[in-house]
Amino acid sequence: GGSSSGGNTGGSSDSQTGWKTGSASAYGSESDGTLGAATATGAIVTESSMGVAVPLSWPNARSYLGRQVEISYGGMTVIATVNDLGGMGGGSRSLDLQPGVWRAFGASSCFDWGVRTVSYRFL
């Protein structure tokens, strides 16, 4: 706990709230072959799975598995679970979103989502 006052000042990282800004890509389509695939935790990627992958290049990347991450984009906030690891452009992207997540943000497909800048924090 602890009491903190003040608002969100923007920036790329806020040490008090843990919010970070990063690029998020999308996966989990028939066209990329990942729909129905098993994630690093053994969960299956489905049309509605609320999972995300983090880059293998992050220090202790496996320690993120099973953690919840709050993702904010376009005024909407979604809570997803880290259940996968990926190459993700050598770590140039922070999150790789499964279909339930990018659909919640209004995207109709992986390609519709593309790569967008999101705010996120691990809970």
What average pLDDT is seen over the chain?
A: 89
What is the model's pLDDT at position 15?
58
Residue 89 has pLDDT above 90, yes or no: no
Please state which of the ranges 4-13, 56-65, 71-80, 108-117 shows the lowest mean pLDDT. Answer: 4-13
Cβ partners under 8 Å of residue 107, min gap 6: 26, 113
Residue 73 has pLDDT above 50, yes or no: yes
CATH numbers and ranges of domains, the chain? 20-122 (2.40.40.10)
What is the model's pLDDT at position 10?
43
